Amino acid sequence: MIKYGPVQCNESTLEEIKLKLVLLLILAYLLGAIPNGVWIGKLFFHTDICKAGSGNIGTTNTYRVLGPVAGTTVMVLDIAKGTVATLLPMWFHITTVNPLLFGLMAILGHTFSIFDGFKGGKAVATSAGMLLAYNPVFFIIACLLFISFIYLTSMVSLASMISFSIITILSILFHDVYLSIIAIVLTIFVFYRHRTNIKRIREGTENMVPFGLGFRHRNQKSSK
């Protein structure tokens, strides 16, 4: 876990720290705002991902529309945005502010991108990247949960929401106050961003990945 805490400094040094802090928070937002799915789609596939599939710029829609290579690339880059942003205060020796704030700025950038008309993704991958930088153990747990629920349900949306919920509970149980607060807020936000998915899940029409128990069960029902 990244360490942070108060430091002793004179007035001029304090002003420098404040300026550096503001600039790094802006940089964190701009990093998060890079619409990887949109740019990769337009540059390499001549496709506007916003107008194809579900219209989302994240990993799942990129995978479905542009294929596994593009989808995996977008996932890695979106995770990296959250990781790099969260590590910024450590790299620039800002120890007075919780690094989660920088990760949160990247998530805001990803969700409300200045480069994409203040639209964006559902914040799942970038949130995972923030977790990777802040608490790698929780990141590994989140990945294992996500993979497990993907296999059980064959639904990326449902696996994401369940994983967020469990990580939030773990954060509370381990008494990480700052992570708990941000995790609660992000979980609510992720559920909100997945509201159309929740509706489709209830109706039994949610898109599934072509593997796992859920996909197999749906195929068996449709073949009867």
In this structure, the answer to whether residues 16 and 34 fall within a common structural domain is yes
**Is 6 part of any domain?**
no
**Rg from Cα positions in the chain:** 19
Cβ–Cβ under 8 Å, residues 148 and 163: no
Residues 192-207 have a mean pLDDT of 93
Residues 160-184 have a mean pLDDT of 94
110/151 Cα distance (integer angstroms):
27
Structure tokens at 162: 């369940």
147/144 Cα distance (integer angstroms):
5
In this structure, the answer to whether residues 209 and 189 fall within a common structural domain is yes
Count how many domains the chain has.
Answer: 2
The letter for the amino acid at 178 is Y
Q: How confident is the model at residue 5 (pLDDT cuts 50, 70, 90)?
A: low
Structure tokens at 63: 């995978």
Cβ–Cβ under 8 Å, residues 146 and 163: yes
Residues 16-42 have a mean pLDDT of 93
Q: How confident is the model at residue 17 (pLDDT cuts 50, 70, 90)?
A: confident
In this structure, the answer to whether residues 97 and 109 fall within a common structural domain is yes
Q: How confident is the model at residue 53 (pLDDT cuts 50, 70, 90)?
A: confident
In this structure, the answer to whether residues 81 and 150 fall within a common structural domain is no
In this structure, the answer to whether residues 164 and 113 fall within a common structural domain is no
Give me the domain span that covers residue 112. 12-134
The residue with tokens 């996909």 is: 215
**Is 4 part of any domain?**
no
The letter for the amino acid at 108 is L
Structure tokens at 57: 């710029």
pLDDT tens string 102-145: 999 999 999 999 998 898 888 899 999 999 999 999 999 999 99
In this structure, the answer to whether residues 152 and 115 fall within a common structural domain is no
**pLDDT above 70: residue 4:** no
Average pLDDT, the chain: 90
